[in-house]
Amino acid sequence: MMRWTPCALMPDAATDAELSVISLDVPGTFEGVRWALAQTLQHLGEERYSVEERGTVELVLAEVLNNVVEHAYSGRDDGKIALEVRQTEAGLNVRVVDHGRPMPEGGLPIKPLSQPSDDLLSLPEGGFGWFLVGQLAHDHQYRRVDDCNCLTFRVTVG
Amino acid sequence: MQLVSKVIGDVLVVRVNEPRIDAAAAVEFKDAMRAATHDAAGRVVLDLSQVAMIDSSGLGAIVTVMKTLGDDRPLELAALTVNVAAVFRLTRMESVMKIHDCVDDAMDAVRSDA
């Protein structure tokens, strides 16, 4: 089993303007992602975040983390994902770090979605994930440093 | 994957008795839908009232099921919860899928079309 070593992209300690919501080592499997989402949602109080806001956070995190499982860690189940969520005045700052394969084109594949046609057979069955991240998250930044992928973004809720 | 099917007239109503259709459940959902709709002859209404969360994999799985059923057995959706409805809205899939507020509305639509 691969050892999980922190890399240069691990976050600094939370500043005064930030409040740490959660910091997790997530198993790089779809079940691991489910667990991480449940943990994170538990830490987002229902008095501060509406049902819709909680749904937005859950959806964005699901897309980003499942993408790591499916592509960066494709074909292996011993990967780990470091998830860090901090609350600020401007929303939730999220950082996701993994040791998997880099993004194929060195950046996030966020593209506009074409208007789906009425022709049943031409409907897309995929490609929705990064589009949703692009719609729901802001200031996304992807960096590859050594053997780490580091993705940061902000979700304007709370 | 818990699916509960019932036939009302010539419509097959399939209720998804699961809180989520996500990446961990998408393959199972497709397999269970294939089995549940095997004998369907006409419309299929997917009751999503129990589903609180769907992600892009779940959405892709629903599109796959819709394509597999084809034009003769149109798949319609009913009773979307708030965060499930948001995914269909954001991806503009709501414009190509028939979505009913509740299962009763879906049945009324069948009757008024007849």
Query: B100 to chain A nearest CA, in Å?
Result: 18
Say how far apart CA A59 and CA B3 lie, in whole Å. 23
- C-alpha A81 chain-centroid distance: 10
Is the pLDDT at A128 greater than 50? The verdict is yes
Interface of A with B in 21-40 (CB under 8 A): 30-31, 33-34
Closest residue to A120, CB basis, from B60, B71, B95: B71
Is the pLDDT at A1 greater than 50? The verdict is no
Cα dihedral across residues A100, A104, A107, A111: positive or negative: negative
Q: Mapping DSSP to helix (H, G, I), strand (E, B) and coil, where does residue A27 land?
A: strand
> Could you give the C-alpha distances from B99 to A109, B47, B93, in angstroms and in order?
30, 10, 10
Q: Which of A44, A46, A128 is best to mutate for the B interface (most B CBs within 10 A)?
A: A128
In the block, which residue shows the tokens 């818990």? B2
Say how far apart CA B12 and CA B14 lie, in whole Å. 6
pLDDT tens string B43-70: 999 999 999 999 999 999 999 999 999 9
Q: Which of B33, B44, B55 is best to mutate for the A interface (most A CBs within 10 A)?
A: B55
pLDDT tens string A55-98: 999 999 999 999 999 999 998 999 999 999 999 999 999 999 99
- Higher-pLDDT residue of A129 and A127 is A129
- Higher-pLDDT residue of A123 and B43 is B43
Cβ of B22 under 8 Å from any chain A Cβ? yes
pLDDT tens string A2-56: 444 555 556 677 777 888 989 999 999 999 999 999 999 999 988 899 999 999 9
Interface of A with B in 96-155 (CB under 8 A): 113, 115-118, 120-121, 123-126, 128-129, 131-132, 135-136
> Could you give the C-alpha distances from B56 to A90, B21, B100, in angstroms and in order?
26, 9, 21
Q: Which amino acid is at B29?
A: F
Q: Inter-chain contact B91–A70, Cβ cutoff 8 Å?
A: no
Q: Inter-chain contact B22–A62, Cβ cutoff 8 Å?
A: yes
- Per-residue pLDDT, averaged over B19-45, amounts to 96
Q: What is the ipTM of this complex?
A: 0.93
Cα dihedral across residues B78, A48, A155, A38: positive or negative: negative
Say how far apart CA B14 and CA B34 lie, in whole Å. 11
- The model's pTM is 0.92
Q: Inter-chain contact B55–A66, Cβ cutoff 8 Å?
A: yes
